[in-house]
Amino acid sequence: MRNLLLVTAALSALFSHTVFASCPDFLNHSMRKLASTETVQFCEAYEGKALLIVNTASYCGYTPQFESLEQVHKTYEDSGLVVLGFSSDDFFQEDNDEGDAAEVCFEKYDVTFPVIATSAVRGSDANPVFRGLGEAAGYPRWNFNKYLVSPAGEVVEHFSSSVKPDSEEMRAAIEAALPSSQS
């Protein structure tokens, strides 16, 4: 029985080491969801998935992109893509009240993909995810910048705000980054 426990503990340690060994530093963090007490540990929650990471704001000319981001989320979710929003007021267009920001996301635009609580996405105050994205591909110049991250944790594309989530350019990049295309 003791040997079985030792083997189980060793396999468990090996497995958890493997999970985190493949996780890039910029994703090896936990952050709170928007208007919630629930947190997400990105490596654990999204291991092996492609990520479309977007800095969002409730009162921006690009805010209607929530609709096409949700469409992309629904289209590619079963293929291994996670759309991940990061609420930010870096460009002074996010509501100061998280509940109101959440209402825009989840009620007005019926977003079902995860949105992270309001935080900085550029400069020295950037949250760790956007610090990694910024160093790899450049910091956002405005709201609704989109970063495509491969299942291996590599930043493969950075799209400006003006690139629509459902554009042919975006769809081609997403399809090339999906886990099934990485085999």
Which residues have CB under 8 Å from 49's CB, separation 6+? Answer: 80, 81, 82, 151, 179
**What residues pair up with 86 in beta bridges, in sequence order?**
55, 116
Neighbouring C-beta atoms of residue 31, cutoff 10 Å:
17
Residues 28, 129, 53, 89, Cα dihedral to 10°: 140
- 23, 43, 60, 105: which is the annotated catalytic residue? 60
- Is 60 tagged catalytic? yes
Entry field: residues in the chain: 183
Catalytic residues: 60
